[in-house]
Amino acid sequence: MIPASFEYLAPKSLKEAVDFISSHSEDVKLLAGGQSLVPLMKLRLAKPRYIVDLGGIPDLNYIRDEGDRIAIGSLTTHTQIEESELLKKRCPLLPQTATTIGDVQVRNQGTIGGSLAHADPAGDMPAAILALGADIKAIGPNGERWIKAQDFFLGLLTSALEPDEILTEVRVPVLEKTKSAYLKAAQRASGFAVVGIAVCLTLHQDGTCEDIAIGVTGVGDKAYRAEGVENMLRGKRLEEKLLEEASVEIVNGQDVIEDINGSKQYRSHLARVYTVRAIQSALKA
Ligand SMILES: Cc1cc2nc3c(=O)[nH]c(=O)nc-3n(C[C@H](O)[C@H](O)[C@H](O)COP(=O)(O)OP(=O)(O)OC[C@H]3O[C@@H](n4cnc5c(N)ncnc54)[C@H](O)[C@@H]3O)c2cc1C
């Protein structure tokens, strides 16, 4: 299908982009990799009057070592994350997650900023970003602000970004002693998560769980942290029986999605199974 007509703008600076969207925010869509926006436009589910292409703005594509954090520009593609030696060494959860996204064409075009801003309830990056406790930088007409990953996803395709804000950077921690894993049951055609579980955990010297963070995608209308499961595991030895008991909490408080990929019951079961497997996989990392 062919999208409705629109005007295309290619700003050369962040200021130019922010100035434009702050005076036209109701009618504008930002374009990053186009992997989510363009299909929506082709189906005419999105009919923006203006498209503001972020591609010509310098300094939005980088992966930088900032000591105990790694800074990632919003236009960094899934492929760049997948192939980054810095991330593979110091924050392997992100490259591992990127590897599971769609296919090679999608990963070559799709960006981390677009994936987070789009807030797809089945997107992979939101789960990883939640487990990592990342910080997200937004720039708007009133300057910049930082949003915690846990406050970022508000609902179906809805993030904490204001309509006149641009996501410019994501900061993730360096995982020195942290073990991590991302596991998903993928929808066969698109690769999107029917259920995806991201885990970061640290162990005490005696082998008990010092801390654990679990990001979940595919289950509800937005990605979320599984605090009920986390609370049951802190301070304990992560043995299979305990993991199975705790995993029952994974969908607690969620209105579990029911669609062509699975009933509520099937998805809840998958979420429990993948929680146990993802934690066991992190323990082996
Ligand atoms: C066939 C196919 C398979 C896919 N499979 C998967 C999968 O398995 N897992 C997965 O997670 N994803 C999957 N995707 C989606 C993919 O990850 C996209 O890259 C991602 O959802 C959007 O990133 P983008 O850069 O393409 O954003 P765009 O499509 O350009 O933009 C998406 C939305 O975010 C907004 N936006 C973009 N950048 C910014 C910014 N910097 N600041 C503020 N707003 C912004 C846009 O205005 C738009 O509303 C798939 C896509 C396709 C087409």
pLDDT tens for the chain, residues 1 to 285: 789 999 999 999 999 999 999 998 789 999 999 999 999 999 999 999 999 999 999 999 999 999 999 999 999 999 999 999 999 999 999 999 999 999 999 999 999 999 999 999 999 999 999 999 999 999 999 999 999 999 999 999 999 999 999 999 999 999 989 999 999 999 988 889 999 999 999 999 999 999 999 999 999 999 999 999 999 999 999 999 999 999 999 999 999 999 999 999 999 999 999 999 999 999 999
* Nearest atom of ligand 1 to the alpha carbon of 166: 42
The fold of the 63-173 domain, in CATH, is 3.30.465
Ligand 1 binding pocket includes 196 (Cβ within 6 Å): no
Decide whether any atom of ligand 1 lies within 6 Å of the 167 Cβ. yes
pLDDT for res 189: 87
251's CB contacts (< 8 A; 6+ apart) are 219, 220, 267, 268, 271, 272
**Structure tokens belonging to residue 46:** 């999105």
d(CA 259, CA 145): 36
- Give the closest residue (by CA) to ligand 1 atom 38: 114
Ligand 1 contact via 253 beta carbon (within 6 Å): no
Instruction: Kindly give the number of the ligand 1 atom that is closest to the alpha carbon of 29.
Output: 47
Say how many Å lie between the CA of residue 281 and the centre of ligand 1.
27
What is the dotted CATH code of the domain comprising 179-284? Answer: 3.30.390.50
Return phi, psi of residue 275, to 5°. Answer: -65, -50
Amino acid at 228: G
Pick the closest to residue 262 from 155, 102, 122 (CA basis).
122
- Structural domain boundaries in the chain: 7-56, 63-173, 179-284
pTM as predicted: 0.97
Q: Ligand 1 pocket test: which of 36, 49, 101, 124 has the largest number of ligand atoms within 8 Å of its C-beta? A: 36
Question: Which of these, 167, 152, 69, lies nearest to 111 by C-alpha position?
Answer: 167
What pLDDT is attached to residue 25?
A: 74
- The CATH architecture annotation of domain 7-56 reads 2-Layer Sandwich (3.30)
Which is the closest atom of ligand 1 to the Cα of 191? 8
